[in-house]
């Protein structure tokens, strides 16, 4: 039986564990932690990793096919109850017999049109492409997480701003109602203020709905349990400062240690290292190897085979028959062979020529895709830099506009309370201030995303920024 002290200790342990679980559930995650979680739990990453494991298996199979022979072993055992040939006399008999045999054979291709060598190169390239595709998937997940994270922050901050606007509108309605009672404002002014309050409440409700949708989107991108709460860092401490972004040069550090100091170098770096280009280049290399393999298939093939076989037989039930011992028969009946085979293709309904033509078309498509990838990457790099610089200008202007609108809204609030401006003028000032806050926040987040993309093209992954 458990005494009171043990029961009390058990309750304390349970409460501590429950508190730890709750604390773990409410841990605040910043942007990088969200990206790491998304990469670790993404089903797309699991599929990419499974593809990489398949590529490793293909690489191993290609190595074994190029340097090792195929080996087969066979055995059989059967009884014959009818007419058969006596292995000793080579004459027909009608006696029940029992036969048992063994064989071991091996073969290797000495020359098959360099197919094994080309397959080795193809699997090596495919393995590197698999790693590149996994990195590309990781980068796409990080960027999608970043965008979803920023959307949550945007609607969170907008909700705070709208809540403050609603509180101010409520106070204004109360003040206008009191002034109407004192004869200082008309009923139309009160109705106008109530209409402004209803508009602010509607905007707040819409913002909350958008926030809920953005949170669900972030959870979906991260593969976070939808029903589990997700708390993110809302401090904006990770946002970069934008003193003079248009004068700064996006400098990225690649995994090779090289730096990009201008747009041209960044473009050349991206053309060499971006996953889309690397994948297109790998596909082109494999298409060229496949074409070479198809052309070499027009040549003869040379193969080497060898083997050993033996057998045992007896006549159970034959009177006076004394069989030769088992292992002695296996030794006496054993035989070996060596075979050198040359296969010369003469006519195969032009299937090899059709295969060569198809491989040429595949190489043309791969080359076109590679050239398109180079063009696309260059356009994306230059567009990303232009977008980054443009968003930097927009951010500075949005900061200035927000400061001026905040000051104007503060002055108009005092003037409205003193009855110096109409409710329509006050509502206009309030709308201008709210729009300025929204544009300022959006400009900050847009600059952060655009700058991160530029750094990514410079060779710095999203998780390293």
Contact 55, 134 (CB under 8 A): no
Residue 349 vs residue 24, higher pLDDT: 349
> Which residue has 């008999």 as its token pair?
93
Given pLDDT bands bounded at 50, 70 and 90, which one contains residue 12?
A: low
How many Cα atoms occupy the beta-carbon half-sphere of 165 within 13 Å? 33
Indicate the SS3 state at residue 344. Answer: coil
Indicate the SS3 state at residue 242. Answer: coil
Could you tell me which of 127, 393, 385 has the C-alpha nearest to residue 242? 393
Contact 441, 176 (CB under 8 A): no
State the Cα–Cα distance between residues 61 and 289, nearest whole angstrom.
17
* Whole-Å CA distances, 187 to 182, 184, 194, 195: 11, 10, 11, 12
Give the mean pLDDT of 254-274. Answer: 71
Residue 235 vs residue 245, higher pLDDT: 235
Q: Is the pLDDT of residue 204 over 90?
A: yes
Give the mean pLDDT of 236-245. Answer: 57
Rg (CA), the chain: 39
Beta pairing class for 301-314 and 335-343: antiparallel
State the Cα–Cα distance between residues 225 and 34, nearest whole angstrom.
13
Residues in CB range of 210: below 8 A, 6 or more apart: 155
* Residues 285-328 pLDDT 10s: 999 999 999 999 999 999 999 999 999 989 887 777 888 899 99
Beta pairing class for 97-111 and 70-80: antiparallel
Given pLDDT bands bounded at 50, 70 and 90, which one contains residue 427?
A: confident
Kind plus residue range of the DSSP H or E element containing 75: strand 70-80
Q: Is the pLDDT of residue 260 over 90?
A: no
> Which residue has 């402004």 as its token pair?
196
The domain made up of 31-68+113-300+349-464 is a member of CATH 1.20.1250.20: no
Per-residue model confidence (pLDDT) at position 241: 54
pTM over 0.85: no
Per-residue model confidence (pLDDT) at position 243: 43
Angle between the 423-457 and 115-181 helix axes, to the nearest 10 degrees? 160
Q: Is the pLDDT of residue 452 over 90?
A: yes
Contact 193, 172 (CB under 8 A): yes
Given pLDDT bands bounded at 50, 70 and 90, which one contains residue 244?
A: very low
Backbone phi, psi, residue 7, to 5°:
-65, -40
* Residues 130-173 pLDDT 10s: 999 999 999 999 999 999 999 999 999 999 989 988 988 888 88
Tokens of 340: 């050198």
Indicate the SS3 state at residue 68. Answer: coil
């Amino acid at each position: 039986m458990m005494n009171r002290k043990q029961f009390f200790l058990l309750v304390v342990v349970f409460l501590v564990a429950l508190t730890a679980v709750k604390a773990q559930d409410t841990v605040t995650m910043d942007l990088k932690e969200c990206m790491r979680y998304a990469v670790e739990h993404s089903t797309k990453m699991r599929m990419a990793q499974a593809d990489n494991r398949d590529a490793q298996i293909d690489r191993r199979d290609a190595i074994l096919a190029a340097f090792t022979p195929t080996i087969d072993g066979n055995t059989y055992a059967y009884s014959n109850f009818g007419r058969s040939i006596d292995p000793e006399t080579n004459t027909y008999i009608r006696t029940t017999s029992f036969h048992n045999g063994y064989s071991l054979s091996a073969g290797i291709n000495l020359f098959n049109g360099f197919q094994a060598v080309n397959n080795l190169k193809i699997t090596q390239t495919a393995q590197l492409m698999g790693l590149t595709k996994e990195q590309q998937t990781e980068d796409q997940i990080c960027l999608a997480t970043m965008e979803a994270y920023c959307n949550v922050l945007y609607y969170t901050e907008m909700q705070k701003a709208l809540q403050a606007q609603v509180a101010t509108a409520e106070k204004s309605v109360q003040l206008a109602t009191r002034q109407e009672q004192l004869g200082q404002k008309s009923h139309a002014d009160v109705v106008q203020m109530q209409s402004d309050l209803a508009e602010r409440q509607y905007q707040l409700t819409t913002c909350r709905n958008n926030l809920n949708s953005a949170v669900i989107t972030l959870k979906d991108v991260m593969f976070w349990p939808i029903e589990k709460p997700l708390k993110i860092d809302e401090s904006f401490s990770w946002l970069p400062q934008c003193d003079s972004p248009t004068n700064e040069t996006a400098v990225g550090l690649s995994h090779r240690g090289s730096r990009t100091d201008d747009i041209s170098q960044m473009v050349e770096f991206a053309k060499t290292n971006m996953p889309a280009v690397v994948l297109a280049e790998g596909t082109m290399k494999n298409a060229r190897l496949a074409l070479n393999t198809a052309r070499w298939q027009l040549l003869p093939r040379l193969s080497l085979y060898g083997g050993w076989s033996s057998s045992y037989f007896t006549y159970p039930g034959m009177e006076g028959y004394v069989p030769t011992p088992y292992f002695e028969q296996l030794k006496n009946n054993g035989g070996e062979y060596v075979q050198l085979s040359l296969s010369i293709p003469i006519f195969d309904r032009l299937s090899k020529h059709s295969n060569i033509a198809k491989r040429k078309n595949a190489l043309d498509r791969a080359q076109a895709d590679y050239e398109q990838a180079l063009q696309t990457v260059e356009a994306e790099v230059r567009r990303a830099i232009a977008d980054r610089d443009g968003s930097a200008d927009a951010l500075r202007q949005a900061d200035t506009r927000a400061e001026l609108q905040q000051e104007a809204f503060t002055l108009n609030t005092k003037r409205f309370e003193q009855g110096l401006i109409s409710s329509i003028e006050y509502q206009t000032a309030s709308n201008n201030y709210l729009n300025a806050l929204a544009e300022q926040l959006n400009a900050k987040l847009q600059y952060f995303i655009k700058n991160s993309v530029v750094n990514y093209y410079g060779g710095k992954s999203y998780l390293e920024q």
